[in-house]
Structure 1
């Protein structure tokens, strides 16, 4: 069967509070699908229900047509990193992975393969309690890869990684998707999702906001802007501001202008005899679209009066 994650009318209540409310979406193979939402949106609860760690109040979630709990050797089907710190600090990385390999019927040589892949071969005999957060993240990724599964789930996998590690993870996720695997990644780092994901599932207050391509979601934002380059920036900024635009200097001879179309900017510059060297419309960024479309779903606002 095709390794698809199917979430149908999924709801999880804690008393009168709905952490997840009627979620329905599908995560398909061959893509890196980003899982986005404000803090408290229900992302971690959803991931835990996919893995059978939390029981839904109602609705269903299956992986490859079956519930995860129905698979006795689960790591061969789904690999997951939910909490990099949730490991026994007194064990070594090799001992931790070896125990998981034995319980899931995975060959022992696979342990050394994943340790090498995540860059932990030299630290494999050290106690995990002495690992940095970035090393624990790498170990968590090794655990997810251990069974060579067709479906992979990652919750905030970039926490604690240095720039080299971030680039490595970005390339790893793309490679896994290119191999035909289903890769589902929860992250609050919009810039990384913009560079890594090609599909998105976005939720807020436990409900679905969007399930579509990254390009489609970003295009729903209204934060369109225009890059304008001119040797007469001071005069140009004054003209555009008087015309109702919002102007932000980008350094050098470039302005970012919002509130006016590229055509209107060009006409104003022409009428005022201002030379333009560049006039480039820019699409809304993922971050702009996310902030706009989840504004009503944010649970905690910085600077909010109490």
Structure 2
């Protein structure tokens, strides 16, 4: 499937406020791309510009080589969930989807198919105003899938979902990408992106911080650590610190080392005739890398409790 999203030099200003600043990235097909950033980073504004809902101050956002507004049949080409609450509360789930199908020239059978796919068949005639947030999220996902599009955008899609729903949506996004679709998912839940995304676009204060795989981004964090257990661990400490590592004693014969890879720690022990009982590398988590690399790009920050 074709449907690469390309963002080039995208900028959006609201008076003196710069929401997005000269932002460029690509979302390829066949992968789940996580769109991450602190609150106020410009994620939702960027997604709205991709969909033609906000006009950029400068720059371009294209889907398969043209602006989204250039596609005559929107839901046939791009499906999106931006706000699960953006549905008339007095309308039933089936009626809402049927209206979207009619206005986009889609067969009525698609309504029943997507309701079943998201698990809302039994609630099809219920008014949306009585839905939980999780059910509204499922309805929004159903609307995005209605036209069977090659490009899909989801803004915070797991909000309100229970653990089973989170597991389901994680599998859904992966299966959509496996079919060759372009999948862009905005989220503030680092644990979800660690288990769902193949690659990341990370922004802060409207500017690009990183565009790379999940593993590459996590590796950029400086908090990767090594656990060392040795009968003479105390002898190893000066050699580690001389090599630039930070060392914390976790108890007799146990150390936590940061700043050196496990292989180098092992070599230092070997060269200095220090026997090791354990040498375990712990990769920095995605959340740790995210917090470290966006620390100076957070718009809203709470003071530490006193």
- Answering whether residue 152 of structure 2 is matched by residue 152 of structure 1, we say yes
Report what 1:143 is aligned to: 143
Query: Corresponding residue for 1:296?
Result: 296
The alpha-carbon deviation at position 287 of structure 1 amounts to: 1.4
Q: Does the CA contact (< 8 Å) of 2:204 and 2:298 recur in 1?
A: yes
Partner residue, 1:77 = 77
Confirm or deny: 8 A CA contact 2:5 2:63 kept in the other structure: yes
CA 1:48–1:114 in structure 2 vs 1: closer, same or farther (change >3 Å)?
same
Q: How many residues align?
A: 298
Q: Structure 2 stretches of 5 or more lacking a match?
A: none
Question: 2:94 maps to which residue?
Answer: 94
Determine helix, strand or coil for the equivalent of 1:101.
helix
CA apart distance, 1:227: 3.3
| SS of equivalent to 1:62 | strand
| Aligned partners of 1:10 and 1:61 also within 8 Å | yes
Query: Which runs of structure 1 show a deviation greater than 3 angstroms over 4 or more consecutive aligned residues?
Result: 227-230, 238-250, 253-257, 259-275
Whole-Å separation in 1 of the counterparts to 2:93 and 2:86: 13
Deviation at 1:72, TM superposition (A): 3.0
Please identify, of 132-141 and 291-300, the stretch whose mean Cα deviation from structure 2 is larger. Answer: 291-300
**Counterpart position of 1:116:** 116
> Which residue in the other structure is 2:219 paired with?
219
Counterpart of 2:20? 20
Aligned position for 1:53 = 53
The alpha-carbon distance between structure 1 residues 257 and 44, as it changes in their structure 2 partners (threshold 3 A), is: same
How much has 1:95 moved relative to structure 2? 0.4
Tell me how far apart the structure 2 counterparts of residues 160 and 68 of structure 1 sit (CA, whole Å).
29
Structure 2: distance between partners of 1:219 and 1:130: 44
Report the counterpart of residue 11 of structure 1 in structure 2: 11
Q: Partner of 1:107: helix, strand, or coil?
A: coil
Deviation at 1:275, TM superposition (A): 5.9
CA distance in 2, matches of 1:141, 1:256: 44
In structure 2, the CA distance between the partners of 1:122 and 1:254, relative to structure 1 (3 Å rule), is: farther
Q: 1:98 and 1:246 mapped to 2: Cα distance?
A: 62
Can you list the C-alpha shifts for 1:259-301, whole angstroms capped at 9, x where unaligned?
Answer: 555344786699797762x312122221122112111111122
Q: CA deviation at 1:156?
A: 0.4
Map 1:239-250 to 2 at 5 A: 245-247=246-248
Cα distance change of structure 1 residues 22 and 249 upon mapping to structure 2, 3 Å threshold = same
In 1, Cα distance between the equivalents of 2:119 and 2:199? 28
In the other structure, the counterpart of 2:200 is: 200
Q: Which runs of 5+ in 1 are unaligned?
A: none
Q: Deviations over 1:3-36 (max 9, x none)?
A: 1111111110001111001111111100000101
Say whether the 8 Å CA contact 1:218–1:289 is kept in structure 2. Answer: yes
Closer/same/farther in 2, CA of residues 275 and 22 from structure 1, 3 Å limit:
closer
Q: Deviation of residue 67 (structure 1)?
A: 1.4
Secondary structure (helix, strand or coil) at the match of 2:97 reads helix
CA RMSD for the aligned pairs? 2.6
2:132 alignment partner in structure 1: 132
